[in-house]
A and B are shown apart, each in its own frame.
Chain A
């Protein structure tokens, strides 16, 4: 999804970026998690173009303390333009 009013200077210049700081709780038995992408004004197509995630340093520590059950993540994603 393009963003003609974006003032970013990085890889995401001109892209509508959705950034989320989130903590994911994973029980000992579950191995993975799902992050659902909803349709919204910034993401009208509900379809993904690019995803980037980062483990923050704090997040790594948190994961160590909680034995990996709580993970702090920074997620950035860009959606596709809706089809017309």
Chain B
């Protein structure tokens, strides 16, 4: 039997120390041993019962309950003041075969993989690689859990691919303590697995596009995501080039995504007419404190998987970086005016090495994260056509009212179908500022205030935007979610209100949801969660 250890706590924090936040209990579930439960499916179903037991206990005690993964979100989206459940040890991979496939499935069964919630991106890539497969995209590193990734909408910079939730084909959610609260959700237009599979995981099936899209980015509040069906693809290589290019050229690429007619090309990556090929990934690094007229940019091109290829990363890394960063924080707090100089001095560790060319699989390219100390990250999604304008506005704010200890970058993502995906524009440019946390002083405003000012200037300049759910922002900004998502947010709340009973609706809410207004209970409508015929 799965076992859960309960630890009484008084606080909880994110990996990058954006808290601390108050907490009563952390629960950690370990799966049943293989000796008694040799069958993976039995271990999985046993874990479902265990989670339902924990939900029942939370309910009996009038407590809230929230699952979390690697606590990599920098906002408090993963926090719940009563009970938090750590999923990292729930990392089963359950093979799915032809017998599990739906007869009208458009997917190749060879590409479908079913993972328990606590598998990290690194673990998933490793499993897929054993089958000659890869995930389609990932964030910049690999330590997040699959359930954590989809719940906030984790993205990389794959301009024609999308985010992690966009390769999810089915979700098993536990919405309460009763047998009927174990639900396996898929699209009704693109079913992947059959009803018999849902029965195998003791779940009732709901095929419904709108419900599926709402549950894809659920902010941890649709229930406990127990398993996720993902679609992989054949293993591929990414050839990565880092270049310094003229600012205007880099920004023109950002606003047009027209790589064929750009002044800049990489000689190895052109078609027979000498026109630039469209990269898989495009990222721009911006030091807003520098007047240099060039930006460091990163291009990646997709290639067939062929061995051998040169080892893409050094096995041994020197750890100078982390010590330097702590020094940086100290200096930045005392002498904020020095920040631009510090950023310049640190550029070798912050920015990738120019003219570097590496080749590796997606999993090797987006590898382990380094620095684990106090950090902040703010990330705004805008239509890529607005990227240059947005950067100008945010960089000006950062210079005029800062300087703040971080630098900007731009990444690009194809639109997601998820109802609350921040990648809601046809190609969304995520403009991000990442850096080290500082303490508010007379000379430097707080992160909260900086977050508020960013929202204000975007609104003043009439730039439609979204914000990454897992990053720092002034989440209490009045009307923020409505401004970003309008009717889509209402639809999401209606679906959530219908899917969850009243007490579960409260149990799976948290401060983040209350603050953003998303915990509001809307009128229920059973058609929203109906099991629909396949069309």
Residues of A participating in the B interface, judged by any CB pair closer than 8 Å: 2, 4-5, 9-14, 52, 81, 83-84
- Beyond contacts A4-B28, A4-B86, A10-B373: 13 other A-B pairs, Cβ-Cβ < 8 A, are A2-B70, A2-B88, A2-B89, A4-B26, A9-B17, A10-B322, A10-B372, A12-B372, A13-B372, A13-B373, A81-B88, A84-B31, A84-B116
Inter-chain contact B372/A11, CB cutoff 8 Å: yes
- Residues in B with CB closer than 8 Å to A14 are 15, 70-71, 372
- Residues in A with CB closer than 8 Å to B93 are 83-84
Alpha-carbon separation in the docked complex, A30 to B26 (Å): 49
- Give the number of A-B contacts (CB < 8 Å): 45
Q: Choose among B17, B43, B91, B371 the residue that contacts A81 (Cβ–Cβ < 8 A).
A: B91
Inter-chain contact A11/B319, CB cutoff 8 Å: yes
- Residues in B with CB closer than 8 Å to A12 are 372
A15 to chain B, nearest CB (A): 9
- Residues in B with CB closer than 8 Å to A84 are 31, 40, 43, 91-93, 116
- Residues in A with CB closer than 8 Å to B209 are none
Alpha-carbon separation in the docked complex, A83 to B91 (Å): 7
Q: Sorted from nearest, which 7 A-B pairs have the closest CB atoms?
A: A13-B372, A4-B86, A84-B92, A2-B88, A84-B91, A11-B372, A11-B322
Q: Interface majority SS on B: helix, strand, loop or mixed? A: loop
Quick check: is B7 within 8 A (CB to CB) of the other chain?
A: yes
Alpha-carbon separation in the docked complex, A81 to B123 (Å): 9
A52 to chain B, nearest CB (A): 8
Alpha-carbon separation in the docked complex, A10 to B93 (Å): 31
- Residues in B with CB closer than 8 Å to A11 are 319, 322, 370-372
30 CB-based A-B contacts, threshold 8 Å:
A2-B88, A2-B89, A4-B26, A4-B86, A4-B88, A5-B7, A9-B17, A9-B372, A9-B373, A10-B322, A10-B372, A11-B319, A11-B322, A11-B371, A11-B372, A12-B372, A13-B15, A14-B70, A14-B71, A52-B319, A81-B88, A81-B89, A81-B91, A81-B120, A83-B91, A83-B123, A84-B31, A84-B43, A84-B92, A84-B116
A-contacting residues, B61-99, CB 8 Å = 70-71, 86, 88-89, 91-93
Nearest B residue to A82 via CB reads B91
A40 to chain B, nearest CB (A): 15
Encoded as 1 (CB less than 8 Å from any A CB) or 0, chain B from 107 to 122 comes to 0000000001000100
Alpha-carbon separation in the docked complex, A9 to B372 (Å): 7
Encoded as 1 (CB less than 8 Å from any A CB) or 0, chain B from 466 to 480 comes to 000000000000000
Most chain B CB atoms below 10 A, which of A4, A9, A13: A4
- Residues in A with CB closer than 8 Å to B88 are 2, 4, 81
Most chain B CB atoms below 10 A, which of A11, A13, A83, A84: A84
A-contacting residues, B25-43, CB 8 Å = 26, 28, 31, 40, 43
- Residues in A with CB closer than 8 Å to B319 are 11, 52
Nearest B residue to A5 via CB reads B7
Nearest B residue to A4 via CB reads B86
- Residues in B with CB closer than 8 Å to A10 are 322, 372-373
Nearest B residue to A49 via CB reads B368
- Residues in A with CB closer than 8 Å to B28 are 4-5
A55 to chain B, nearest CB (A): 15
A-contacting residues, B369-426, CB 8 Å = 370-373
B192 to chain A, nearest CB (A): 22
Alpha-carbon separation in the docked complex, A10 to B89 (Å): 22
Alpha-carbon separation in the docked complex, A2 to B7 (Å): 16
A11 to chain B, nearest CB (A): 6
Nearest B residue to A8 via CB reads B372
Alpha-carbon separation in the docked complex, A81 to B373 (Å): 22
- Residues in B with CB closer than 8 Å to A4 are 26, 28, 86, 88
Alpha-carbon separation in the docked complex, A2 to B40 (Å): 22
Alpha-carbon separation in the docked complex, A49 to B28 (Å): 22
B399 to chain A, nearest CB (A): 31
B375 to chain A, nearest CB (A): 11
Nearest B residue to A84 via CB reads B92
- Residues in A with CB closer than 8 Å to B26 are 4-5
A-contacting residues, B183-240, CB 8 Å = none
- Residues in A with CB closer than 8 Å to B370 are 11
Alpha-carbon separation in the docked complex, A83 to B130 (Å): 13
Alpha-carbon separation in the docked complex, A43 to B132 (Å): 28
Alpha-carbon separation in the docked complex, A5 to B86 (Å): 10
Alpha-carbon separation in the docked complex, A9 to B15 (Å): 9
- Residues in B with CB closer than 8 Å to A81 are 88-89, 91, 120, 123
Nearest B residue to A15 via CB reads B372
Encoded as 1 (CB less than 8 Å from any A CB) or 0, chain B from 290 to 314 comes to 0000000000000000000000000
Nearest A residue to B93 via CB reads A84
B116 to chain A, nearest CB (A): 7
- Residues in B with CB closer than 8 Å to A2 are 70, 88-89
Alpha-carbon separation in the docked complex, A2 to B91 (Å): 12
Alpha-carbon separation in the docked complex, A32 to B196 (Å): 57
- Residues in A with CB closer than 8 Å to B372 are 9-14
Alpha-carbon separation in the docked complex, A10 to B116 (Å): 29
A-contacting residues, B297-350, CB 8 Å = 319, 322
Alpha-carbon separation in the docked complex, A4 to B466 (Å): 31
Alpha-carbon separation in the docked complex, A2 to B15 (Å): 12
A-contacting residues, B19-58, CB 8 Å = 26, 28, 31, 40, 43
B71 to chain A, nearest CB (A): 7
- Residues in A with CB closer than 8 Å to B322 are 10-11
A49 to chain B, nearest CB (A): 9
